[in-house]
């Protein structure tokens, strides 16, 4: 199952991504192997949505990234996570 996820970095920035394996991807982030998050460790997984296909997860990732509004992302996080779309 594919996932769109949001991480909160130590500097209070958000990282939005998508993956086929959330556990492995989170480990990669925590190991400092991702350019954006390696200087912002530790990160915290604060939101995720499950999708049937990777294509759907990527579309959602791009949608969230295009909001370019911290308030919109925080509103989404408040709505909850872990849902299957």
Strand 44-51 relative to strand 83-84, pairing: parallel
Q: Taking the alpha carbons of 78, 50, 13, 70 in that order, is the dihedral positive or negative?
A: negative
Q: Domains of the chain (ranges plus CATH)? A: 2-84 (3.40.1440.10)
Residue 76 structure tokens:
């989404």
Residue 44 sits at the vertex; the CA angle it makes with 43 and 47, to the nearest 5 degrees, is: 130
Strand 2-8 relative to strand 14-19, pairing: antiparallel
Q: Which residues of 9-67 form beta strands (DSSP E)?
A: 14-19, 44-51
Whether this model's pTM surpasses 0.85:
yes
Written as tens digits, the pLDDT of the chain (85 aa) is: 899 999 999 999 999 999 999 999 999 999 999 999 999 999 999 999 999 999 999 999 999 999 988 899 999 998 875 544 4
């Amino acid at each position: 199952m594919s996932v769109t996820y949001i991480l909160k970095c130590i500097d209070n920035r958000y990282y939005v991504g998508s993956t086929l394996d959330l556990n492995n991807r989170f480990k990669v982030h925590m190991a400092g192997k991702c350019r954006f998050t390696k200087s912002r460790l530790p990160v915290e997984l604060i939101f995720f949505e499950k999708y049937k296909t990777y294509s759907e997860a990527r579309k959602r990732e791009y949608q969230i990234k295009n909001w370019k509004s911290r308030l919109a992302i925080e509103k989404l996080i408040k709505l909850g996570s872990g849902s299957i779309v």
